[in-house]
Amino acid sequence: MEEQVGALWHRLITRVADRRYPQAAVPLAEVAHTVGILFRALGGDGGLQVEAADPTIHTARRRLLQRVAGIGEKAELAWRDQRALRLPSVIDCFPERTLNRDLYVWLAALAANYEDPPGSWFWANQRVACKTLERFPGLADRYARLVAAHLAQRPEPAHLPSSDGAREQAVRQALLHPGSLDVLPAARRPPVPVPLWLHPDPPRSAALDTDRRCEQEQVSRDDRVEDLDRRRRRRAERAEMPEKDQGLVTIRMENILTWGEYVKVDRGTEEEEDLDRARTAAEDMDQLAIARDRKASGARLKFDLDLPAESEDDLVLSDGILLPEWDWKKARLLPEHCRIVPMLAADATPCALPPHLSRTAKRLRSQFQALTPARVRHRRQPEGQEIDLDAYLRFAADRHAGVMGKADALYCEMRSGARDLACLLLADLSLSTDTWIDDHARVIDVIRESLFLFAESLAATGDRFGMLGFSSRRRDPVRVHRLKGFDETYGGAVRGRIRAIKPGYYTRIGAAIRYASELLSNQPAGRRLLLLLSDGKPNDLDRYEGRHGIEDTRHAVREARRSGLTPFCVTIDEYGNDYLPYIFGTRGYLVIRRPAELPARLPLLYARLTA
């Protein structure tokens, strides 16, 4: 009975104290694509992604009902950093849905013009608001509506203590007339958060460790994995690993107040069976404590044991090729930074096309044979299968008229036409391809079938093509598996290498594109197409994760275009629209929503690109 009364009281007081409007809520997922395009169109950094901002605690004065209900301690404010433009995950502070949507637009425009000027956040937000309204006067009406709606929700200065009232009055004036005040009056408490401004003190991400020692362990497909929201980055701190095997653990339960309080508990993670409980705990924590197990060297071999032994690994074709990598912070290429190791499957035996693909391959071959140039009759040849009657009659008439011409071009010959085209397919074979897409197939299985059908289709056209697979483990080595060379004939040996592909390590796309570009540039063709088949963003164990990898891949794509190549990316990553336009351009990529459709759609995409 007490629990029921407590639950009823909690729902009642929360409903009364909460001034949000869930019926008019606009989630970030609904407008993220539009806001991202707007942010870049207004001059924002094209390399930033749109992500959800973490709620942060503020110490501003709350209303009595909010304190009783225990709500209103956190606020979701917008900010931007080197990685992303971070916006509230949901905006429901206004009773009208159009106003909530307009707030997303205004925050994107504000962030696009933000330059992190020196001075207080109060003056900086006014300055950037003035700059935004000057550059884009069409936002003035929208800003006025947002200010009017927000001021109606802020506390009245007359109802606050004198110092807090003066500060609230200054905020109101700054909202109505940006740039009119330089200094915010002093007070004991900060003002109520302003959702129309950027965060006064955004959380700072910890610096990336360039020599990161933490290995990312594989998760077998039999494990139960709960994936948190990928669009939100959570704050974390490093902590010491709890000491184990110290006997009985005594913890007073009254000391464990919240999930967020870090306690060194002698308990292995394998004992956590309730994944829903663990997921809820992780979402409720403002900051996660991350510890690294400092075991002896034998324990570190646990990750390395998943690597193939040298005797069982693929055949290494050369000592390696050194290639540069783009450092976007220094705006220069790092010479000889990555080492490409060409490899060939050592245990790949020739095989036939899998039976379940025969019907689809037959249909594609018949469609692609229509792309083969027709046989062309070449006239006035010195030799050939037939006599060129026109040339012979002209020669006979000239001779009858007394003109002695040369009888060296009196034949015609039928020759097959040729398309001046070369294509190189670069397939991502990273560890993430071991993910199951349904109950029957993994991503690597879909990629394997795509390679089979792609090769069958191009063999029917006679086009010159090659196929490579790649994965990486830091910058040395970047493993590139040769599946088919340009000078090889497609047959059982190539099909055996395709059948032997397996998930590798990580995805250093920039180095793979540079290596593939060199190979493709050496092909004697007027048009050269570089196809990238991937399932996710560039990433690796070192600093290649995040912005560095995206910028390096973008620079590699631009180098390929300057070399006369046509790079194009095909991905099954559902978040590909967030970062691929920045890397490949709006018309340089395709996102396939259903991975199972990739094998049939890839050859048809090639036909459209080369039409």
Token pair for 190: 């900060």
Higher pLDDT, 305 or 539: 539
**Has residue 233 got a pLDDT over 50?**
yes
Measure the CA–CA gap between 77 and 202, rounded to whole angstroms.
Answer: 9
| Burial of 400 (C-beta count, 10 Å sphere; 0-12/13-18/19+) | exposed
Q: For residue 193, which of 54, 72, 102, 41 has the smallest C-alpha distance?
A: 72
Contact predicate 50/85, CB 8 Å: yes
Residue 262 pLDDT greater than 50, yes or no: no
Residue 207 has pLDDT above 80, yes or no: no
The per-residue pLDDT for range 508-529, each reduced to its tens digit, is: 999 999 999 999 999 988 889 9
Whole-number pLDDT of residue 150: 92
Q: Would you say residue 400 has pLDDT above 90?
A: no
**Long-range residue pairs from 516-521, CB within 8 A, at least 24 positions apart, any chain:** 516/424, 516/426, 516/468, 517/556, 517/559, 517/560, 517/563, 517/565, 519/424, 519/466, 519/468, 519/486, 520/422, 520/424, 520/466, 520/565, 521/563, 521/564, 521/565
Q: Are 475 and 542 in contact (CB under 8 A)?
A: yes
Higher pLDDT, 294 or 599: 599
Structural domains for the chain: 2-176 (no CATH), 208-295 (no CATH), 315-368+419-609 (3.40.50.410), 375-416 (no CATH)
DSSP per residue, 568-606:
EEEE--TTHHHHHHHHH-TTSEEE-SSGGGHHHHHHHHH
- pLDDT of amino acid 376: 62
Of the pLDDT bands very low, low, confident and very high (cuts 50, 70, 90), residue 291 is low
Nearest to 143 by CA among 187, 106, 190, 197: 106
pLDDT of residue 239: 57
Taking residues 242-252, report their average pLDDT.
48
What distance in Å separates the CA atoms of residue 493 and residue 484, rounded to the nearest whole number? 9
**pLDDT of the residue at 408:** 78
What sign has the CA pseudo-torsion 129, 134, 139, 142? positive
Q: Residue 599: which of 424, 366, 465, 427 has the closest Cα?
A: 427
Q: Where are the alpha helices (DSSP H) in 231-378?
A: 275-284, 297-304, 358-369
Read off the pLDDT of residues 130-151 as tens digits, 9 standing for 90 and up: 999 999 999 999 999 999 999 9
H helical segments located in 215-314: 275-284, 297-304
Q: Which amino acid type is present at position 346?
A: A
CB-based contact 510:552 (threshold 8 Å): yes
Higher pLDDT, 219 or 465: 465
Smallest Cα–Cα separation from 111: which of 198, 30, 174?
Answer: 198
Give dist(CA 332, CA 334) in Å, integer: 6
User: What's the whole-number average pLDDT of the chain?
Assistant: 80
Half-sphere exposure of 275 (CA within 13 A, CB side): 6
The residue among 15 and 603 whose pLDDT is bigger is 603
- For residue 469, what pLDDT band results from cuts at 50, 70 and 90? very high
Confidence of residue 215 (pLDDT cuts 50, 70, 90): very low
The pLDDT of 239-247, averaged and rounded, is 52
- Better-scored residue on pLDDT, 607 or 335: 335
Instruction: Residue 473: name the closest of 513, 432, 430 by CA.
Output: 430
| 408-460 pLDDT tens trace | 788 887 665 556 789 999 999 998 898 888 888 899 999 999 999 999 998 88
pTM over 0.85: no
What percent of the chain clears pLDDT 90, i.e. is strictly above it? 36
CA distance 112 to 115: 9
The distance of Cα 250 from the centroid of its chain, to the nearest Å, equals 45
Q: What is the pLDDT of residue 250?
A: 45
Q: What is the pLDDT of residue 226?
A: 47
Give the integer Cα–Cα distance in Å for 438 and 453: 21
- pLDDT reading at 349 higher than 80: yes
| Residue 30: partners with Cβ closer than 8 Å, 6 or more residues away | none
The amino acid at residue 210 is T
Residue 261 has pLDDT above 70, yes or no: no
Three-state secondary structure call for residue 337: strand
CA distances from 465 to 363, 484, 531 (A): 20, 8, 11
Type of residue at 94: F
